[in-house]
Structure 1
Amino acid sequence: MQSKIATLLTPYSKGNLHLKNHLVMAPMTRSRAINNIPNDLMAEYYGQRTGAGLIITEGTAPTADALSYARIPGIFSQEQIEGWKKTTAAVHQEGTKIFLQIMHTGRIGHYHNLPEGAILVGPSDIKAMGQIQTDNNGLQDFSEPKALTIDGIEAVVQGFVKAADNAIAANFDGIELHGANGYLLEQFLNPNVNNRTDTYGGSIENRAKLTLEVAEKTVSAIGNDKVGIRLSPFSKTGDLQPYDESEVHNTYAFLATELNKMKVAYLHIVMNPLIPQATLDAIRSNFDGTIIKAGGFTPETAEQALVNGSADLVAFGKAFLANPDFDKRIETGAALNPVDFKTLYATPDAIGYTDYPTLQS
């Protein structure tokens, strides 16, 4: 092993989270779930990447209303549960843990990607600017969402809870709530999207209410050691417009405090250059559990973050996408395969998915 990478590939243990190394495979949408059902090809893909101590799956819809992208998997039917069992079995064979990321995309979506009868929803009826790929009609402007009613919010919460139960039935080690990247939970946090005047809008506490309710009720359903959450402070993804810096800071400091009370397994922070160090410090100070950081790391900078204590685990996305044996390449200092961006989502087959070469091949 390269001497400068001394921690990343060693075992990790904190609380009830025990991993064979400090290396995490980040969640990445790959659009290979035909009819939204996890399949053999997906099991092969995840099974190839078990050099990670922890794999976090691609975003997975808890309900039909959350199927906003083409060919993303769900976790709300028995057929989907059975499909995911193939993946969990493949991953567990190599001693890797795997968490299912539960993703409700909210207003980010198009009706061409939704099944009949499903509804695109959000905290408000404010339409996102931008476009999304559909299989039948190519790129389309985002559809206009319907503002969730109080009953609709309760249905969303129960959808997350049922999805968490289903994930455990599919033999996942836990779930990650997707509270980042401009999707539904983060849409509620952002006052430029969330213009509600009820108890889910207005103050920081009100706008954080949905995220915390989902976290609390999934913890009650499957246990705090099986629930993590992904957050992206200061993100502009999904047409999220920036708001007052001190309010953003206080939002994430508050979330870290409240999630710490629930003793969730981890916080997964999506890094970007706009996040002030003070906000990262507040999250670290307010949360006693595992902190995963993702976004732009190299093995060398990941090692630095682990050594200085700013992160407990580091997640890699594109590096794992293009390098099934990423851990071996870190260990030997071998060059990395480049990512073929043309094949990320465009096709449902193995090209650009399970055909990246390994050092052995």
Structure 2
Amino acid sequence: MMRRAANPGHVPQGNAVEYYSQRARGCEGGLIITEATVVSETGHGYPCVPGIYTKEQIEGWKPITKEVKKHGATFFMQIWHVGRTSHNEFMPNKAPPLSSMATTATGDVYLPDGTPSKFTKPQALDKAGINNAINEYRQAARNAIDAGFDGVEIHGANGYLIDQFIKPKPNQRTDEYGGSIENRCRFALEIAAAVCKEVGAERVGIRLSPYGQFGDVDDDKPNETNIYLTEQLNKFGLAYIHFVEPRIAGNTDCDVRHESYNTEHFRKIWNSTFISAGGYNRERAIEAVQSNHTDLVCLGRHYLANPDLPRRWRENKPLNKYNRDLFYTQGNEGYLDYPWLNGHVPESAARFFA
């Protein structure tokens, strides 16, 4: 779950060590994927989000990875560029944000000082800019491994930069990166190829949201687009593919728009580990795994509020209720103070509330 790295320079703050430590202890050797972490200065669009493109950021992640791996968890960093869902105030020299096209997303953005504003008009990436963005993902993956992570997840979902190329609504380009499904998927595939070459395909996953409209994106033929994309990604030998279910829009539940919208289309052709995310509760997760709908279920909101979630679900125990109002705040409340099944918060968290 995304939290705010309040330290200058987008370096993870100290409470992240405690947060990830709690969930590493509770996940019983499972997979933890970080909050979305920015690959470059031009990739920001939210206040105080952590990065992985400077030496200081790499050093800031090291105590977190050390603590997580001490407890036996597998730890992947989700690497990310928001593209046009940003504002000039986030950009170096207040330049326009970057995207597939120079078209503005509808919606609101919170500026670095926390005030709301509208998205600003982006600049379309030219071929040199595309090559530079691909290299930023490649370097971010290398930096993550250097920081101690086991692997990286390429964030190709939720209306951010890669999704702004994949989906036709924000991508009306007429060059080799727009138009046909093959061209619209080219950017994502070239990033995957570069990252796999840099750190090894066994250390790489990718997240996709075929049916998502978050960030003012859409695809009128999502199954065709993502069947092709899945088939091509199969050739890389990735660690996993991670799909967002159609019942999720951004960070909220929604109605499925069409009866054909189902990630089973991609599950059937994927050759490796398949992860599903979006609106899962205990019963739905068990059914999804037992019916072979997916191999793994990814949790955000429930895991944020229940560091020992695997045990609670295994023993069918009640869950802590998450506080949505505190999801994106910078403090420790609603982050480090959710109690474990025994009713206590770890003593290691006490110093953050002194």
Q: Summarize the Cα distance change of 1:163–1:275 in structure 2 as closer, same or farther, 3 Å threshold.
A: farther
Aligned residue among 210, 225, 237 for 2:214:
237
Structure 2 length as normaliser, TM-score?
A: 0.89
Would you say 1:296 and 2:279 are equivalent positions?
Answer: yes
Runs of 4+ off more than 6 Å? none
Aligned residue among 237, 240, 245 for 1:271:
245
**C-alpha distance in 2 between matches for 1:158 and 1:91:** 28
Range 248-257 or range 334-343, more displaced? 334-343
Bigger relative CO (Cα 8 Å, ≥ 6 apart): 1
Instruction: Give 1:119 deviation, angstroms.
Output: 4.6
Structure 1 length as normaliser, TM-score?
A: 0.88
Q: Summarize the Cα distance change of 1:283–1:61 in structure 2 as closer, same or farther, 3 Å threshold.
A: same
Q: Summarize the Cα distance change of 1:119–1:46 in structure 2 as closer, same or farther, 3 Å threshold.
A: farther
Hey, what does 2:351 align to over in structure 1?
Answer: none
Aligned residue among 317, 333, 336 for 1:351:
333
Hey, what does 1:258 align to over in structure 2?
Answer: 232
**Superposition pairs for residues 195-210 of structure 1, below 5 Å?**
195-210=172-187
Q: Summarize the Cα distance change of 1:350–1:219 in structure 2 as closer, same or farther, 3 Å threshold.
A: same
**C-alpha distance in 1 between matches for 2:337 and 2:262:** 40
Q: Contact 1:32 / 1:349 at 8 angstroms: preserved in 2?
A: no
Aligned residue among 166, 169, 186 for 1:192:
169
Instruction: Give 1:116 deviation, angstroms.
Output: 4.0
Would you say 1:102 and 2:102 are equivalent positions?
Answer: no
Instruction: Give 1:328 deviation, angstroms.
Output: 2.3
Hey, what does 1:141 align to over in structure 2?
Answer: 118
Q: Contact 2:275 / 2:295 at 8 angstroms: preserved in 1?
A: yes
Q: Contact 1:119 / 1:146 at 8 angstroms: preserved in 2?
A: yes
Deviations 1:279-299 (A, max 9, x none): 523312221100000111112
Q: Summarize the Cα distance change of 1:47–1:119 in structure 2 as closer, same or farther, 3 Å threshold.
A: farther
Range 275-284 or range 216-225, more displaced? 275-284
Q: Contact 2:177 / 2:184 at 8 angstroms: preserved in 1?
A: yes
Deviations 1:219-246 (A, max 9, x none): 1111111000000011111111x342xx
Aligned partner of residue 276 in structure 2, secondary structure: strand
**C-alpha distance in 2 between matches for 1:69 and 1:131:** 11
Aligned partner of residue 319 in structure 1, secondary structure: helix
Hey, what does 1:324 align to over in structure 2?
Answer: 307
**C-alpha distance in 2 between matches for 1:74 and 1:114:** 14
Give the counterpart letter for 1:317 in structure 2: G
**C-alpha distance in 1 between matches for 2:281 and 2:148:** 31
Q: Contact 2:39 / 2:140 at 8 angstroms: preserved in 1?
A: yes
Hey, what does 1:81 align to over in structure 2?
Answer: 58
Aligned partner of residue 58 in structure 1, secondary structure: strand
**C-alpha distance in 2 between matches for 1:118 and 1:103:** 19
Hey, what does 2:7 align to over in structure 1?
Answer: 34
Instruction: Give 1:113 deviation, angstroms.
Output: 3.3
Structure 2's unaligned 5+ residue stretches are: 247-255, 345-354
RMSD: 1.6
Q: Contact 2:211 / 2:261 at 8 angstroms: preserved in 1?
A: no
Q: Summarize the Cα distance change of 1:299–1:129 in structure 2 as closer, same or farther, 3 Å threshold.
A: same
Instruction: Give 1:115 deviation, angstroms.
Output: 4.7
Equivalent residue pairs, number: 330
Instruction: Give 1:338 deviation, angstroms.
Output: 1.3
Instruction: Give 1:45 deviation, angstroms.
Output: 0.8
Identity of aligned residues (%): 40
**C-alpha distance in 1 between matches for 2:215 and 2:7:** 24
Aligned partner of residue 235 in structure 2, secondary structure: helix
**C-alpha distance in 1 between matches for 2:241 and 2:260:** 16
Q: Summarize the Cα distance change of 1:83–1:68 in structure 2 as closer, same or farther, 3 Å threshold.
A: same
**Superposition pairs for residues 91-170 of structure 1, below 5 Å?**
91-116=68-93, 119-170=96-147
